[in-house]
Chain A
Amino acid sequence: MKRQVPLALCFLFGIVMILTQFVPHKYVQALYKEFIDWGLIISPFALVLAVITLIQTHTTRVRRRTEHWQYSFLVFAGMIIMVCVGVPFGEQDSVFVWLYDNVQVPMDATMFSLLAFFIASAAFRAFRARSFEATLLLVTAMIVMLGNIPIGDLVWNKVMSWTPWADGASGARQWILDVLNSAARRGIILGVSLGVISQSIRIILGIERSYLGGGD
């Protein structure tokens, strides 16, 4: 009951999802769509559980007065405001859109832009031509970065005019992305896909059971 039933359910839903994608009959396709909807209905409950866990974590922080516990109220405030505005009035509500445009989007963009500074310092440490592979990484990253800025073409055409790319650094960048990078990416994608398929088969057949966790 505690382990065998979940394994059987996993097998059943896995096999049904595979078979329904290969049978074009309208009833089978209706079943496929229904099951997709089931997945979309079940998933938000996991999100709610995650939110409950987040609330529990911050409540514990407040109760124990751990360092910076006062900021936990901001988490609650942000969450409550968005939910109180968004759930009853919908995602198109003007207040909800205002909060999204003027609070969430600017903070999201700034958080990611902050990484520009840290990635620059990481690059300074990583970009040392200590081996052939590191040199390749360094040269490629430099060309791609140069190809992204207008001055890159100017510099490239002055210094590297003998290369076959008429557009300068942007041409070299595009060739690297289209040929060398796509070859590496295709290799990775093929490898990852084969891994995903083999892991999925192991899960459906019940060979891989780590998602059930420990205990009986």
Chain B
Amino acid sequence: MIEIIGIWVAAFLTLCIYSFLYRDNPFYRFAEHLFVGISVGYGIVIAMHQGIIPLAWVPLSEAMSALWTVITGQATPETINALWGLVKIIPIAIGLLFFARLSPRHTWLIRYPIAILIGFGAGIAIPNELQANIFAQTRGTIAPFAAINAGTLSAWDIFGTILIVIGVICTLIYFFFSMEHRGAISWLSKVGIAFLMVGFGAAFGNTVMGRLALMIHRVGFLIKDWLGTIF
């Protein structure tokens, strides 16, 4: 029974959203606002149960219990170790500074958590970008030449490998603005634009097909699951 109610609720909300294809209407606005509320609520729950509770609340409460055992003179090596959880007070205090935004006089305090998070992000990004993107992509571009050298690639694959190298170099030249795009550079840059257009076309084609697949799935749900509960 609860499953059928779920199907009817999902079907009603699906039809509410599709009603926008006719024009903006109260049913669409109902689903739209409910969607925002539900999504925000879901985000809060996930942030609590995958961030705050396991990373801050649990270690901190264990540290508080350990502190109590130290105060009462019943400390063991494990409880002393659990005292490290008190360190979590620092990120919690930094996080609480976000709420300084709500007080006009203390708004500037929000710069502290923002600066720390941005510093974190920038510090993590430099080695990761180098390793995951620059080295990996460069290796991926030139590694097939080892296979060419070993004679394991067909003529068609060799053509593809050379085309990739030309494409990568020309695309990078198109994005290289430190010199004027004239003469040979201009031509290479135009080849780069051609590769970019093919890339954008492929991305567009895949996006269209992805959205259509979602639509087919929703229509399939309405026809099979929802109408299946009626007929």
Q: Tell me the A residues contacting B by CB distance below 8 Å.
A: 2-3, 5-7, 9-18, 21-22, 34-35, 37-49, 51-52, 54, 68, 71-72, 74-83, 86-87, 90-91, 96, 98-117, 119-120, 123, 132-134, 136-145, 148-149, 164, 175-194, 196-197, 199-201, 203-204, 211-213, 215-216
8 interchain pairs, CB-CB under 8 A? A38-B91, A52-B99, A77-B34, A78-B35, A103-B38, A112-B211, A193-B137, A204-B119
Q: By the criterion CB–CB under 8 Å, are B94 and A42 in contact? A: yes
Residue from the set B44, B52, B128, B218 with the largest chain A CB neighbour count within 10 Å: B44
Query: What's the dominant secondary structure at chain A's contact region?
Result: helix
Neighbouring A residues of B47 by C-beta, 8 Å? 43-44, 47-48
Q: By the criterion CB–CB under 8 Å, are B91 and A116 in contact? A: no
Bound-state CA distance A91–B54 (Å) is 13
Q: How many A-B residue pairs have CB under 8 A?
A: 388
Query: What's the dominant secondary structure at chain B's contact region?
Result: helix
Neighbouring B residues of A51 by C-beta, 8 Å? 40, 44
Q: By the criterion CB–CB under 8 Å, are A41 and B120 in contact? A: no
Q: By the criterion CB–CB under 8 Å, are A13 and B13 in contact? A: no
Neighbouring B residues of A13 by C-beta, 8 Å? 116, 119-120, 123
Q: By the criterion CB–CB under 8 Å, are B38 and A204 in contact? A: no
Which of B63-71, B72-80, B179-187, B198-206 lies on the face that meets chain A? Answer: B198-206
Bound-state CA distance A140–B206 (Å) is 10
Neighbouring B residues of A191 by C-beta, 8 Å? 171-172, 175
Q: Does B127 contact A (CB under 8 A)?
A: yes
Q: By the criterion CB–CB under 8 Å, are B35 and A120 in contact? A: no
Instruction: List 19 additional A-B contacts (Cβ < 8 Å) besides A10-B118, A114-B21.
Output: A49-B98, A75-B33, A75-B36, A78-B33, A79-B40, A91-B49, A98-B2, A102-B7, A106-B14, A112-B211, A119-B207, A123-B204, A144-B206, A148-B206, A183-B164, A183-B195, A183-B199, A190-B138, A193-B133
Q: By the criterion CB–CB under 8 Å, are A49 and B101 in contact? A: yes
Q: By the criterion CB–CB under 8 Å, are A42 and B52 in contact? A: no
